[in-house]
Amino acid sequence: MSTREEYTKCMTPYMTGTGKSKDERQRSMCMGAKLCSGKASSEDEASQLCAEAAANPKPVKERRTRRAKILDPHTTAVCVVDRLSGQSPTVDSLTAALAHCTGQKSKKPRSFIEQCVRENAVTGDLKEIARVRSQCKAEAKSQRQAERGV
């Protein structure tokens, strides 16, 4: 068949599935596709091609979810150990390694100031946020000085 319209017109009788089981409908669609596309010249040849296709299905590709690759625990552990080679494990380094090994994006931890503003802002208007932000900056500065021992 040369055009899409002709192919669709040819396939119409093979696409009707009333009163047929799922396997019969699939076989009918396959045979129609082989005949209408010109890959088979007779119904016997189309039936043979469809039987071969059913016996030798194409390999299914590994599905990746949006959130992560699904790996077995051993593979994940090997990947994490490789990523942490020579480093002492911390929460941040383990989080980053696990995110990398499972295909996830690691979320950047919020800065102290950002977290402080979110916790202490009440109304959310600009004047209040500016005031709370300056208080949080002062608190962060005093914490850094305390950590340094100044």
Lowest mean pLDDT among 36-50, 67-81, 134-148: 67-81
Q: Where are the domains of the chain?
A: 4-55, 65-108, 112-148
Confidence of residue 1 (pLDDT cuts 50, 70, 90): very low
Q: Report pLDDT for 45.
A: 92
Q: Report pLDDT for 2.
A: 63
139 closest CA partner among 123, 103, 115: 115
Q: Report pLDDT for 72.
A: 78
Helix extents (H) in the chain: 4-15, 22-37, 43-55, 73-83, 91-102, 112-120, 126-148
Asked if residue 10 lies in contact with residue 34, where contact means CB atoms within 8 angstroms, the answer is no
Lowest mean pLDDT among 103-107, 117-121, 123-127, 140-144: 103-107
